[in-house]
Amino acid sequence: MPKDQKPTINDVARIAGVSKKTVSRVINKSALLNAATREKIEAVIADLGYVPNPQARALALRRNFLIGLIHDNPNAQMVLGVQEGILETIRDTEFALVVRPVDRHSPALLDDIRHFIERQRLFGVMLLPPISENDELADMCRQLGCTVVRMGSAALDKSEHLVASNDRQAVADAVFWLSEIGHRRIGFIAGPDGFRSAREREIGFADGMARAGLTCDPAIMARGTYRFESGQAAADQLLAADPPPTAIFASNDEMAAGFLHKALGAGIRVPEQLSIIGFDNTATAAHIWPPLTTVQWPIKAMARAAASKLILPGDAATQPSIFLSDLVRRDSAAPPPQAEGNH
Amino acid sequence: MPKDQKPTINDVARIAGVSKKTVSRVINKSALLNAATREKIEAVIADLGYVPNPQARALALRRNFLIGLIHDNPNAQMVLGVQEGILETIRDTEFALVVRPVDRHSPALLDDIRHFIERQRLFGVMLLPPISENDELADMCRQLGCTVVRMGSAALDKSEHLVASNDRQAVADAVFWLSEIGHRRIGFIAGPDGFRSAREREIGFADGMARAGLTCDPAIMARGTYRFESGQAAADQLLAADPPPTAIFASNDEMAAGFLHKALGAGIRVPEQLSIIGFDNTATAAHIWPPLTTVQWPIKAMARAAASKLILPGDAATQPSIFLSDLVRRDSAAPPPQAEGNH
DNA sequence: TGGCTATAGGAAACCGGTGTCATACGCAAT
DNA sequence: ATTGCGTATGACACCGGTTTCCTATAGCCA
C-alpha cells in the first residue's frame, strides 16, 4: 500500500483541495475552522494514513520532543520501572524517551552527556539516583537549554524540578514498626558516605529509634557499600556483638541479602531469632529465602510525576513532589523471641 | 555564553565568509575542498561550538537516526544489558536509542507499536525476547520501513537480521557437564509452551542426556511458566519421584529459585544432596543461597552485534549471528552424594 | 593569446512542517 | 450603497540542513 514514500502534508492538501496551512490547522486542532472543511481533511488524512513528520515539526517549532533518561543506577528493576512510568505518561503525546546509561566514574562523563544532549537537541532530561545528586551535571544540562528533573531521596534544600521519596520518614516508620512488634535491640547497616540516600536513611533510622525511645548502639551499626559483600562483612561484625541484635535494618536489599546469607550460614534462624529489613524491593528481595521484608519506593508513580513535570509547562512543576515509600511485609521480619514470652 | 539561540550553519557560513554549502561540505567531510578553507571553517565551528541540528538533517536526508528498542522482557538485568550494549555501539554515531516497553498481552499491541514507529519515524527497531518471536510484529515493522533486528534463541530457519544465542547447545553442554561430575538422574523444568527459548532448551536437555547416554524420565520432568511459583510447584512434583533426582536443570533462574526454595524448606541440602542449575544469570541468581549455577547469555556482545547490524548497511548484516552461552559455576551444583563414594 | 578542462565554491530549490499576514466572504450598522 | 467587522482560508517566507546545477577561476596546452 505505501508506494515508496510516506504521504506528506502537501499530498493531503492537494487531494483535499486546500492549502498546507489548512491541513496544518486540522493537525493542530485550531478552532478557526469550518466543521465541513475539517471533516473533509480528516477523511483524507485517514484515507492516506498520513502521520505528520516529527522532524519537520521539530524544525519548524524550534523545539523537539525527545526526553533523555540519564542514569548509572545499579538497580535494574528500578531503572526499568522508571522507564515504564515515564512511558505511561508520554504514551499519547509526541514525546519519546531516549536512554543513556552512563558510568559515573568516567572522567569524560560531563563531555559525554553534553554531546548526547547537543547532538539530539534534547527537550529535557531526567536524572536518576545516584547521578541525580551531581549538581554540576544538572547545572550543565540546564545551561544547555534542557528542562531537568531529578529523582532522588528528599533534599528539600533545593527548590527545583524534583521528585523525591521521603526515605527518612519511611525508614523511621519501619524502625518504629520493629519496636512496636517488640524489638529493643535494632542494628543498622548504613550506605556509603556521599550518597544522599544513605544519609537520609541514616537519619531516618536515628529518628525511628528516638521515636521508639530506643538508643542507637554503635556496636550494632556498620557502614556498607550498598553491595552484597558489604552486607556479609557487616554480619560478621554485628552478629559478634554482645548482646547481638534481634533486628537489623539494612539500607538496601543487597546488603540485607548479604547479611541474611551470613546469618543463615551461622545457623541463625530468620525471622525466629533475627529479623531483617531491607530497602528497595529489588527482584532479589522476593526470591531469597526467607522473602525479604523491605521498603519500596513508589517508582512508577514517581516516574509519572517526573515525566509530567518535564512535559508540562508552568512553574507549578517546579515544586518538589515528595512521595512516601511503603513497607512490603514478607517473612524476614517478625517479633523477637523474648517478645513472645513477654506477651 | 550561548545567548539565546544555538548557532546554525548560516552563522558559521556568515562568520567564515563562505556559503552554507561549503560549511555543509566540511561537516560531511567532502573531498572537494581546499585545505585552507576547511581549516578556516573548522576554526569557526569550534569557536562557536556549532553542532548540526539533527532534525534538520533528518528532514533533508529523508531518514533519521533513531533506533527503537521494543521489549516486554521480565528480566530487567537483561534489558539493561542490552541497552548498554547498544549504546556502546552507537556512542560515537549520531544514532540515539529510544525505548518502548510494551505489554505483550495488550490487544492494542500492534497499533501501539505502529504509532510509535510512525510517530518517531524510526530508522530501525530491535526486538527482544519474548516479543521478538512475534512474526506478525516483525513483518509490520518491516512494512513500516524499519530495519528489524531480532534477538532470541537460535531459530536458524529464518534468514534475516537475527542475533541469537544457541540455547540448545548451551543447555546440552550444561547437562553433559552434570553427567560428567557423576549425575545419572537429572530432572528438568521446561518453560511455557509457545516460547522458542523454552523449546530450544527442552531440545538441548534431550540432546545433552542423549550425549551422556542417559534417558529422560517423565517422572522427573515438569513444565513451568518461567515464574518463581511454578518452580515451587515443580519441586513438589519432582522431589516426590522415586528415586528422586540428584540434579535439576531449570529453564530459567526464577524457576530454579522457586525449586531451591522448596527443596531447602523440605530439609534437602543443596548442593550436597541435590544440584540445581538455572538459566539467565539474573541478579537473583548470585544473591540467593546457595548462589546459583546458571547459564548466561553474552548479552552485551549480542546487543553490540545487533546494533551493528542495524546501523551498518549491506547484506552481510542479514546473516544471523549465533552466540554461545557460558555456564556460570557457583555453588548450587556439585557431584551427587553417591558419586563421591564411587570415585 | 585563445580555448579547454578541472576544481572550488555559490545560488536556489527542496525536505515537511510552522508562523505571519493578507484576502475573500457574509452580514450588521451607518 | 458604503463601511466595518469577524470568520475561514490561502500565499509566502522560514526553520536548518542537503542536493542539484551552475559559475568563476586557475592551469594547461596549442
Judgement on whether residues B142 and B270 belong to the same structural domain of the protein: no
Shared-domain flag, residues B40 and B130: no
Please give the Cα distance from B311 to B65 (Å, whole number).
9
Question: For the domain that residue A288 is a member of, what is the CATH number?
Answer: 3.40.50.2300
- Say how far apart CA A37 and CA A39 lie, in whole Å: 5
Within a domain: residue A262?
A: yes
C-alpha dist (Å) from residue B64 to A59, A113, A236, B92: 13, 21, 56, 16
Q: Is the peptide bond before A130 cis (omega within 30 degrees of 0)?
A: yes
Tell me whether residue A58 is in a domain.
no
- If one compares A86 and B32, the residue with the highest pLDDT of the two is A86
List alpha helices for chain B, DSSP H.
9-16, 20-27, 35-48, 54-61, 76-90, 109-120, 135-143, 167-180, 196-211, 228-238, 253-265, 283-287, 299-311, 337-342
Check residue A3 and give its pLDDT.
Answer: 47
Same-domain pairing of A146 and A182:
no
Q: What is the Cα–Cα distance from B246 to B340, expressed in whole angstroms? A: 13
Q: Is residue A286 within 8 angstroms of chain B, CB to CB?
A: yes
Are A289 and A224 contained in the same domain? yes
> Which DSSP string do the residues of B184-201 spell out, in sequence order?
--EEEEE--TT-HHHHHH
Can you give the CATH number for the domain in which A24 is found?
A: 1.10.260.40
Give the H or E element holding residue B100.
strand B96-101
Is residue B201 in some structural domain? yes
Longest dimension (CA), chain B: 88
Q: How far is the CA of B33 from the C1' of C2 (A)?
A: 29
Whether the per-residue pLDDT at B343 is higher than 70: the answer is no
Residue B2: pLDDT band (50, 70, 90) is very low
Residue that is written with C-alpha cell 556509603 in the block: A192
Identify whether residues B141 and B217 lie together within a single domain. Answer: no
What's the CA gap between B23 and B25, in Å, rounded?
A: 5
B1 within a domain of the structure (yes/no): no
**Confidence check: pLDDT of B252 > 50:** yes
A156 touches chain B (CB under 8 A): no
CB-nearest partner of B283 from A76, A83, A87: A76
Q: Could you give the number of structural domains in chain B? A: 3
Average pLDDT over residues B306-313: 88
* A39-68 core/surface letters (b: 16 or more CB in 10 A; e: else): ebbeebbeebebbbbbbbbbbeeeebbbbb
Does some domain include residue B2? no
Q: Is residue B1's pLDDT more than 50?
A: no
> Nearest CB to B94: which of A119, A258, A264?
A119
- CA angle (B77 as vertex; B71, B81 as ends), nearest 5: 75
B259 and B155, same structural domain? no
Q: List CB contacts (< 8 A) between A120 and chain B.
A: 54, 96
Least confident stretch, B2-16, B49-63, B253-267: B2-16
Question: Within this chain, do residues B65 and B212 fall inside the same structural domain, yes or no?
Answer: no
> A219 and A139: one domain?
no
pLDDT of the residue at B107: 93
Residue A192 lies in a domain: yes
Query: What is the layout of strands, in order, in the sheet containing B186-190?
Result: B221-223, B186-190, B247-250, B275-279, B293-296, B326-328
Do B199 and B208 meet the contact criterion of CB atoms below 8 Å apart?
no
Q: What pLDDT shows up at residue B158? A: 63
C-alpha A265 chain-centroid distance: 33
Element (DSSP H or E) covering residue B279: strand B275-279
Which residues does chain A have within 8 Å of residue B145's beta carbon, measured at their own beta carbons?
A: 2, 6
Flag whether B197 is in a domain. yes
Query: A287 or B89: whose pLDDT is higher?
Result: B89
Mean pLDDT of chain B, nearest integer: 90
| Boundaries of domain holding A18 | 9-52
Model-level pTM greater than 0.85?
Answer: yes
Tell me which chain B residues have a C-beta less than 8 angstroms from the C-beta of A96.
66, 98, 116, 119-120
Cell output for A170? 519511611
Please indicate, yes or no, whether residues A181 and A287 belong to a single structural domain of this protein: yes
Percentage of chain B modeled with pLDDT above 90? 74
Same domain, A176 and A257: yes
CB B337, CB B272: distance < 8 Å? yes
Nucleotides of D under 7 A from a protein CB: 7-20
Kindly state whether residues B136 and B223 are assigned to the same domain. no
Q: Is A48 on the interface with B (CB under 8 A)?
A: no
- What is d(CA B204, CA B161) in angstroms, rounded to the nearest whole number? 24
Residue A133 lies in a domain: yes
- The tens-digit pLDDT sequence of chain A (343 residues) is 344 678 999 999 999 999 999 999 999 988 878 889 999 999 999 999 999 999 999 999 998 899 999 999 888 889 999 999 999 999 988 899 999 999 988 999 999 999 999 999 999 999 999 899 888 999 999 999 899 999 988 765 565 788 999 999 999 999 999 999 999 999 999 999 989 899 999 999 999 999 999 999 999 999 999 999 999 999 999 999 999 999 999 999 999 999 998 998 899 999 999 999 999 998 889 888 889 999 999 999 999 999 999 998 766 667 788 999 999 999 999 999 875 444 4
Asked if B194 and B261 sit in the same domain, the reply is yes
